[in-house]
Chains A and B, each alone.
Chain A
Amino acid sequence: MIPLLTVAGLGVTNAAVFSSGELDFGVILEGNELELEAHVVNGVVDGVTTIDEEVPANSLDVLVTADREFAAPAGFGAAGVATGESIWILPQSEAVGVPFVALASEELTSGDWSTVITFSLGSVTSPSGTGTFSMWEAGSLGGQDFHFSSTDGALTIGATDGDANTNPNDYISNFGHNHVNWGFSEPGVWEVELIATGTHNTLGALEARDTLNFVVVPEPSSVALLSLAGLGLLRRRR
């Protein structure tokens, strides 16, 4: 597959590139099926300002630019990085020119459901195969409440993540939409499987799953090296 776009030397798929603005990954009820979708609230897709467009969740490459690289403080083990190591973050708070990504279940009618909607983390493919994808909320007075970690043993099944649910790699969505921090431990192309579950009053237990695509851009000095391996970064379009 030949990439249609190149972002800072990284090969990407023929998916459209979401580079800034508000984007919600949310669940909708389509007929009797629960589905995941990407809702471009107000953002830039392939360089074009786009407002209120809904597209398949796996049809976008969400861009994480080089300026989103930070040195991790202590306490980021769940994000797969030690103190001082690099982590790339899409922030929970809106910043100009940066994707502002939420998880949403607001398009469902709460009264039709006997449970809240739970987002869970499925399989994660990192650029090197050993990277860590993570998702967390920042506490009001600092600190982090990690909900997803693709590698941290403390967040494996059987542990808890503080949200009163037995599955630690989950996130409860009470028919609203919540912005969170999205963390990547290395540059490159990421595939993150997201699973949404809930019990409908008449349709019973429903599940939706899809793959979210993120492209994390390294600093310019490392772009050249990665470009050499560009073909290796190409992914199969789902």
Chain B
Amino acid sequence: MRLLLPFLFLPCLTISGQAVDLVLGHFEYQIDYALAEGDADEGWKTWVSYDLDGSFADNEGVERLPLDSVRLLAAPSTRIVPSTAPENFGTSNEPLWILSQNNVPGELFLGWRAIYSQGLFQAKVGSVYSPSQLGSIESSLVEVTGTGPERGGDFAMWTTAGLGRLIFHFNTSDGISSDDLLTPVPAGSHSHYNWGFTQPGTYSVRFRNEGRLNPQFGGSQTQSEALLNFVVPHDGFLTGEGQWRLGDGANEVPSVGIYDSERQVDYAADQVALIARERQFEMSLADATAASLGRVGLASVDEIHFPGNEPITVSLLEQFGPGDVSMSLSENRHVFSFAADGIYRLRFQANQGGLVGTPFTLTFLVNLPIDYSYEDWAGSFERTHELEAGLLTDSLSDFDQDGLSNGLEFLLFWHGFDPVTVDAHLMPRPRFVNGRAEFEFLRDLHKDDFSSTPLELAVSFSPDLATPWKPWRRLFSEGAPDEFYEDGNERGNETSCVMRRRLVVPEATENFGFFRFEQRLRN
């Protein structure tokens, strides 16, 4: 089942200066050095690179991206909870996020590459340099900042040797010292490591690359620093309890976020699931002074300000789900109780005096995990609409005949789709922005992880319906920058596993063009 969406003419907004989000595929932190006239330090260049033919085995087709133009994301599948954490990194039975040294489908495979002519640098043994034709450079850790470290998160990079021993090169758990060193980094080297993080959030990791040139090249000590930006997405759900965060939105209309006090992060209502394990979920009012380190789906403090001018009240407008919902007040906590398991949508509105906010919807998963299956979803909507069991079983059919297959409505759940209601109008609208056609949507990486989940969201583009459909690239590196690719487009400073993404068609004209959404069954 397909849906065609012509994009609209909109005034040119601004070209987003934000970095491209890389969430899967083979990339390198690449260090280049070439002799420079004058200041030897000018010879350093650092990048995140990828290869147009998918091969890092040779130097052909290597594309270099400025470090500040990319963010390196950890996919949900990188999250593990080890029963026994490494002795010097993380905590047992607490989550870790690891970009693996192995090439895992659906995850970022980040290597460390150095390109410089052999014979440029001296060899270093201990702290002593000596001229050599086989010399090399080394890299050290300078600092790690961001909301991840502010939450107490640590960063480490290590190798797991063939016999299972963990060899740490960098590790902030014991502070940063001269021990945080990767040496040697030989000419032409290309190695993969484990990159670990202990909290969600952003991590700006600053490295120093350093070496001493051989005497025939001036013999000077030379160095350069480089900053890599990592993002560890939040889970995108709260279990058992959460907090309202009331504030002033644009034009001072009342606005609401959902606050996770443990992670100190505010979520937009449409990017967080509230999981009720015992058919109950408790909401309380966030302390007006509660610290917030991150915003997911919420614009900057200039546009939404917490706390707002109280009093702000929240009204329930409607409820939707496979059973009745009751709400009671207990010790300043709103207790939501659900009569049956399944997926519920509760629609609210914030009010402040005569001002009313834009209605928003909270999603409750009652005795369902965040990565619930298509079958769970279909069963919940069948019960909600009192349909005969099995009528929504086929993901390829279009029960409500609105042009969107059941599976597509499942994949785009966060837009508010209901497979039994004609609601194609909920599809987000394409737009034309400074020479590029764009289409923004919410991708739930718990449902479509680019790798192992059964259903896959696929998109293609045609400028005129006569030109053959051009498939989008799941990741930036699968095509040159002028290809049709998917990118991040978050609002706020952090990211969750329900990600705001955009599809970008650089070569589109502003006259008209067509996007085609499809669901595919992943083999």
Residues in chain A within 8 A of chain B (CB atoms)? 22, 24, 26, 39, 41-42, 51-52, 70, 72-73, 75-76, 89, 91-94, 96, 102, 104, 106-107, 110, 136-144, 174-179, 181, 183
- A89 lies within 8 A of B163 (CB): yes
Check A144/B164 contact, CB under 8 A, given A22-B190, A93-B101.
Answer: yes
- A39 lies within 8 A of B54 (CB): no
- A140 lies within 8 A of B98 (CB): yes
Residues of the A chain whose Cβ atoms lie less than 8 Å from the Cβ of B116: none
Residues of the A chain whose Cβ atoms lie less than 8 Å from the Cβ of B492: none
Check A92/B101 contact, CB under 8 A, given A140-B160, A141-B82.
Answer: yes
Among all A-B residue pairs, the 8 with the closest Cβ atoms: A138-B160, A181-B162, A106-B55, A142-B164, A94-B191, A140-B194, A89-B162, A42-B188
Interface membership of B482, Cβ < 8 A: no
- A94 lies within 8 A of B164 (CB): no
Residues of the A chain whose Cβ atoms lie less than 8 Å from the Cβ of B189: 94
Q: Report the minimum CB–CB distance from B158 to chain A (whole Å).
A: 8
Q: In the complex, which of the residues B55, B59, B165 contacts A142, with contact meaning CB atoms closer than 8 Å?
A: B165
Check A93/B161 contact, CB under 8 A, given A42-B188, A141-B82, A179-B192.
Answer: yes
With most chain A CB atoms within 10 A of its CB, the pick from B159, B160, B184 is B160
Cα distance, A52 to B59, chains bound together (Å): 9
- A138 lies within 8 A of B192 (CB): no
Check A174/B86 contact, CB under 8 A, given A94-B190, A107-B55, A141-B160.
Answer: no
Q: Report the minimum CB–CB distance from A148 to chain B (whole Å).
A: 14
Residues of the A chain whose Cβ atoms lie less than 8 Å from the Cβ of B166: 141-142
Cα distance, A92 to B164, chains bound together (Å): 11
Known: A26-B57, A140-B102, A176-B54. 10 other contacts (CB 8 A): A70-B163, A93-B161, A93-B193, A94-B191, A106-B55, A106-B57, A110-B54, A138-B162, A176-B103, A177-B56
Closest to A137 in B: B102
Interface membership of B186, Cβ < 8 A: yes
Q: Report the minimum CB–CB distance from B168 to chain A (whole Å).
A: 12
Closest to B55 in A: A106
Residues of the B chain whose Cβ atoms lie less than 8 Å from the Cβ of A107: 53, 55
Closest to B59 in A: A52
Cα distance, A183 to B163, chains bound together (Å): 10
Cα distance, A76 to B190, chains bound together (Å): 28
Q: How many B residues have CB within 8 A of the partner chain?
A: 38
Interface membership of B100, Cβ < 8 A: yes
Interface membership of B26, Cβ < 8 A: yes
Q: Report the minimum CB–CB distance from B302 to chain A (whole Å).
A: 40
Cα distance, A72 to B58, chains bound together (Å): 34
Q: In the complex, which of the residues B53, B85, B101 contacts A138, with contact meaning CB atoms closer than 8 Å?
A: B101
- B164 lies within 8 A of A73 (CB): yes
- B160 lies within 8 A of A183 (CB): no
Closest to B158 in A: A140
Interface membership of B105, Cβ < 8 A: yes
Residues of the B chain whose Cβ atoms lie less than 8 Å from the Cβ of A138: 101-102, 160-162, 164
Residues of the B chain whose Cβ atoms lie less than 8 Å from the Cβ of A139: 160, 164
Residues of the A chain whose Cβ atoms lie less than 8 Å from the Cβ of B98: 140-141
Q: Report the minimum CB–CB distance from B196 to chain A (whole Å).
A: 8
Residues of the A chain whose Cβ atoms lie less than 8 Å from the Cβ of B26: 176
Query: Which residues 103-126 of B have a CB within 8 angstroms of A?
Result: 103, 105, 109
Closest to B82 in A: A141
Q: Report the minimum CB–CB distance from B173 to chain A (whole Å).
A: 15
Q: Report the minimum CB–CB distance from A40 to chain B (whole Å).
A: 10
Cα distance, A165 to B492, chains bound together (Å): 41
Q: Report the minimum CB–CB distance from A174 to chain B (whole Å).
A: 6
Residues of the B chain whose Cβ atoms lie less than 8 Å from the Cβ of A52: 58-59
Q: Report the minimum CB–CB distance from B94 to chain A (whole Å).
A: 13
Residues of the B chain whose Cβ atoms lie less than 8 Å from the Cβ of A179: 192
In the complex, 5 of the A-B residue pairs with CB atoms within 8 angstroms, ordered by the A residue number, are A92-B101, A93-B159, A136-B162, A140-B194, A176-B54
Check A140/B55 contact, CB under 8 A, given A93-B159, A93-B161.
Answer: no
Closest to A93 in B: B159
Residues of the A chain whose Cβ atoms lie less than 8 Å from the Cβ of B196: 140
Q: Report the minimum CB–CB distance from B310 to chain A (whole Å).
A: 47
With most chain B CB atoms within 10 A of its CB, the pick from A24, A41, A91, A104 is A41
- A142 lies within 8 A of B53 (CB): no
With most chain B CB atoms within 10 A of its CB, the pick from A51, A76, A94 is A94
Cα distance, A174 to B103, chains bound together (Å): 9
Cα distance, A23 to B54, chains bound together (Å): 16
Residues of the B chain whose Cβ atoms lie less than 8 Å from the Cβ of A39: 57
